Amino acid sequence: MWLHSGMISTGIREFKNNLSRYLRRLKPGEVIAVTDRGRVVAELRSPSAPERQSVLVGRYAQLVAAGIIRPAVEDGDPLADWPTTREVCLPSGSAAALIDEDRGA
């Protein structure tokens, strides 16, 4: 199963039973994620693969390490172009009134 460009995911039993096949497929920049019951427990990289600088911190880093989420393929902030909360003008009123107005009630 392909996770994203350059990453293959396989279960422990499949990896063990086909170790030679997976090692032959390993190319520079490619990662094999070994999973146990759907959670990533190990990652295998070729020694010539460039190390990606890890700037992951906090809960995000924990989620990536646990295999729950994947790090972004592209660098940069995906929310950089989004307006800040100060730039967004919301009408005043209670949340219930705003929801009723939105629903046409």
Question: Cα 47 to the chain's mean position, in Å?
Answer: 23
Integer Cα distance of 76 and 68 in angstroms: 21
Q: What is the pLDDT of residue 13?
A: 93
Q: What is the pLDDT of residue 6?
A: 58
Which mean pLDDT values do the consecutive 10-residue runs of the chain (105 residues) have? 62 92 79 90 74 62 78 73 69 80 84
Q: What is the pLDDT of residue 55?
A: 57
